[in-house]
A and B are shown apart, each in its own frame.
Chain A
Amino acid sequence: MTGPDEPVSIGHPLSAAPRLEVQIGRIRMRNPVMTASGTFGFGEEYSAFYPLSRLGAICVKGTTLGPRQGNAPPRIFETPAGMLNSIGLQNPGVEGVIEEKLAFLRDKDVPVIVNIAGETVDEYVEIARRLDEAGGVAGLEINISCPNVAAGGRCFGMDPRLTFEVIDAVRRVTDLTLISKLSPNVTDIVEIARASLDAGADALSLINTVLGAAFDIRRRRPVLPRVVGGLSGPAIKPIALAAVWQVASAIDIPVIGMGGIMTGEDAVEFLLAGASAVAVGTANFVNPTTAIDVLQGIAGYLRQNAIPDVRELSGACVHPTASPAACEYDE
């Protein structure tokens, strides 16, 4: 489709394949497309649809110190262009993850990022220590933003001082790449982002789900047993883009953008807003191969717009003069 809103294309479409490699902390990713925690299990299910090695990285299900059963069903509810979830961090616990899940991922030739959630600073530290010792893990995504359980760490992510405390404590026990996953439900996300950076986080995941609720007017009761859940899907994309842009404009730290990415075009928006990489979440449910479609969409955009390296696209709208791929539009 063409129209007055088409970005200016600079030069001729590329003949060579664009360079897609990006680096997040110490993780070298063959492309900027990851999967978002909680939407990809531990990779087993989706490995039936494509080789996991095609992805830049995978971020697996939130892992707690002990096994967790999860919340009582119903656990999801569809809303306009989105869904609410209240899964409740069902997972086999860190030892179960190491024995059952990481063993499966070991030979899949893809960087594995484990999302970790604790109730106390000590729990985060203990989970991080065990995963570090286990090997086969490239990075830890520190979940300080799960809305669905008391143990989801949301209390940490609401407060810059507690954010600093938990990330600082984990930083002291591991050299693994640390990614702080932030909630959009804060007054000033930049403040939480800065606390994460100051405590030694290598990157940020922006954003976790948005707090949401739905009510059944026929039965006159909440749809989800815990009333509130996490809203995801295309409905939250503008919220996520704003958060990425705000943080990327203020702080120098790699951002993994996520929230409602369904297509390559969506992912390009996140890159323009300042993300260095993107994660596909709810869209995995809608179409099991979305992450690959998004990757191909990014590559196609780079080719069509003669951008040889995806890193030139990142942040093009954050520092408008810094890149030849800056956002210029036809008047």
Chain B
Amino acid sequence: MRQVSEGPGCFRLWIESPEISQVAQPGQFVNVRSETGWTPLLRRPFSFCDIDPEAGAFSLLYQVVGPGTARMSQLQAGDPISIVGPLGNGFSLDAPTRYSILCAGGIGIAPFPAVARALQGRTILRAVIGARAESLCLCQKDLSDLEISLSIATEDGSAGVRGFVTEPLRQALEMNPPGETTVFACGPEPMLAAVAALCREYGCEGQLSVEAVMGCGVGACLSCVFHTPDARYIRSCVEGPVFGTREILF
């Protein structure tokens, strides 16, 4: 286990686990607990950032937002950590369309290094990243190492265009033929809602990785539900966390 600082309050935690890294799929997640007491009580879900079956290791990219992630950021090699996974359904990457756009908002970039490596050479890839500021546009090197063209939007205008990631996404969609393009998106819920609307507008496929407050992460507690168009609730931990744009409502 080792930690790499990725930005202000952002870390990449590498964990050795041959069992998990050999079966993990991009877009799946693990449910993590590193506490010794009962506060915080519940596990926290993190999607796989890197999956390296040869090294028998995987990584999680996370931002310190509360006491659980603060404690995680203090972990050092040899400290105990409890991990349940891999869980959930990842991105569908078996038959990629001719063009693929990776669309990330903030820490929602987390699953895309693994997705990009899995898709590399099988589709024409570009990435659009949005964040509050340049320092929070993470994983740029992962994408540039794979020679993926990258567009950035920041809310404070410190890098790329000023505004939300939907701006560069729209530009990318303008350039790609809709029937041959898939958008892979991960980020906050308002962003995913906007991405789903753009996918509808341009008539292209979209796969959205959602973030929800999870209780158990295995499908039992029914906490992390999203509404479906046919007025049911589905669980993001089991049926997701990756959903098609037509599977859920925001």
Contacts and interface: CB of A to CB of B under 8 A. Distances in A.
Contacts of B217: 285
Contacts of A262: 38
Given A45-B220, A87-B221, A76 B41 contact: no
Interface stretch (A78-86, A122-130, A198-206): A78-86
Nearest to B82: A287
A286 B33 contact: yes
Contacts of A233: 38, 41
Contacts of B43: 285-286
B223 A73 contact: yes
Given A69-B232, A70-B233, A83 B215 contact: yes
B42 to A, nearest CB: 6
B150 interface: no
B41 A81 contact: yes
Contacts of B222: 41, 70, 75, 87, 90
Contact of A234 (B41, B218, B219, B233): B41
B190 to A, nearest CB: 15
A81 B215 CA distance: 14
Interface in B162-183: none
B84 to A, nearest CB: 6
Nearest to A233: B41
B122 to A, nearest CB: 31
B39 A80 contact: yes
A16 to B, nearest CB: 33
Contact of A285 (B216, B231, B233): B216
B41 A288 contact: no
A286 B33 CA distance: 8
Interface residues of B, number: 28
Contacts of A82: 38, 41
B39 A81 contact: yes
Contact of A76 (B39, B215, B238): B215
Contacts of B224: 73
A46 B41 contact: no
A210 to B, nearest CB: 15
Contacts of A75: 213, 222-223, 225
A285 B39 contact: no
Contacts of B215: 76, 83, 85, 285
A285 B220 CA distance: 8
Interface string B20-42: 00000000000001000111111
B212 interface: yes
A285 B212 CA distance: 15
B220 A284 contact: yes
Contacts of A90: 222, 225, 233
A70 B216 contact: no
A193 to B, nearest CB: 28
B221 A39 contact: yes
A27 B88 CA distance: 36
22 contacts: A40-B220, A45-B238, A46-B218, A46-B220, A69-B231, A73-B212, A73-B213, A73-B223, A75-B222, A76-B215, A81-B38, A83-B215, A85-B215, A85-B223, A87-B221, A90-B233, A234-B38, A284-B216, A285-B43, A285-B220, A285-B221, A288-B216
Given A73-B223, A78-B42, 9 more contacts: A38-B221, A39-B220, A69-B233, A76-B213, A78-B40, A90-B225, A285-B42, A286-B41, A288-B216
